[in-house]
Chain A
């Protein structure tokens, strides 16, 4: 582990903290370490911004997703139900 990672946190930790921060699961001192890391680490700064953008994109895509059961499987379920006896 190099001096930079000793003083702040590693990129691996920073990327994890970036995600944990979404749920407010990160204390003030850890947030400060993340903030300091992101100020000096070009790649983690990009990751942090892209992580936030991903959340926004996933949120937008929710409305576009239409996960439905096929007519074929619905007929199969109905057929199983009609051929089953109650206990």
Chain B
């Protein structure tokens, strides 16, 4: 197989996996597409130095992982007011008052039981995925990596270039947002529908 055919084969065999890996970590289709393209081109250009000790897939994933780390480092460098933006990103003001108690409009209310019907379960799953898609920034990436990709905290901190305490605040905020979104978009709608 010549190098060009091998590159094409990478796209067919590993394109979806690489894309999914990048998308789960960046939360952006465009960024994921660009990072995978950069990965494929980097691998292709340095094919001569590839020692074939690892599989093509492992090698490509390693390159992509480094591209993602570089992506977050560049993003961080670009943000001159990074500290301020991080603090803003992790603000809990919307959920808790100054005493640390729940804001009146964010107090959790009981949800209905798990639906038995397949259609209803699918509606709940769609609502959940819609809410996950609404998460933004590093919080979204941290959430996806932890709960969807089952990555450990150490790896997430490394890739996203964040401290362990910042990691927990991002995860906490993402969970609060997700719970709130699902409450509004599914459970409250369901309650209103049942009341009619």
Given A16-B168, A84-B44, A77 and B37 contact (CB-CB distance below 8 Å): yes
Report A48-87 residues with CB < 8 Å from chain B CB. 50-51, 53-55, 57-62, 64-65, 67-69, 73-74, 76-78, 80-82, 84-87
CB contacts (< 8 Å) of A2 on chain B: these are 99
Kindly state the interface size class of chain A when it binds its partner.
Answer: 35 or more
Q: Are A54 and B44 in contact (CB under 8 A)?
A: no
Main secondary structure of the interface of B (DSSP, over half): helix
> In the complex, are the beta carbons of B96 and A12 less than 8 A apart?
yes
B134 nearest CB across to chain A (Å): 14
Docked pose: A47 CA to B48 CA in angstroms: 55
Q: Which of A12, A15, A65 contacts B129 (CB 8 A)?
A: A65
Closest-CB distance, B19 to chain A (whole angstroms): 4
Asked if B95 contacts A12 (CB within 8 A), the reply is yes
CB of B117 within 8 A of chain A? no
The verdict on B11 contacting chain A, using a C-beta distance below 8 Å, is yes
Among residues 1 to 32 in chain A, which have CB atoms less than 8 Å away from a CB atom of chain B?
A: 1-2, 5, 10-13, 15-16, 19-20, 23, 25
Residues on the A chain within 8 Å of B145, using CB: none
A68 touches B20 (CB 8 A): yes
In the complex, what residues of A have CB within 8 A of residue B114's CB? 53
Q: Which residues of A contact B7 (CB under 8 A)?
A: 78, 81-82
Q: Please determine whether B24 and A67 come into contact, CB atoms closer than 8 angstroms.
A: yes
Q: Interface code B95-117, partner A: CB below 8 Å = 1, 0 otherwise?
A: 11001111000011111001000
Q: Are B92 and A55 in contact (CB under 8 A)?
A: no
Q: How far is B45's CA from A54's CA once the two chains are assembled, in angstroms?
A: 44
Q: Tell me if B163 is interfacial: C-beta within 8 Å of chain A.
A: no
A interface list, Cβ under 8 A from B: 1-2, 5, 10-13, 15-16, 19-20, 23, 25, 43-44, 46-47, 50-51, 53-55, 57-62, 64-65, 67-69, 73-74, 76-78, 80-82, 84-87
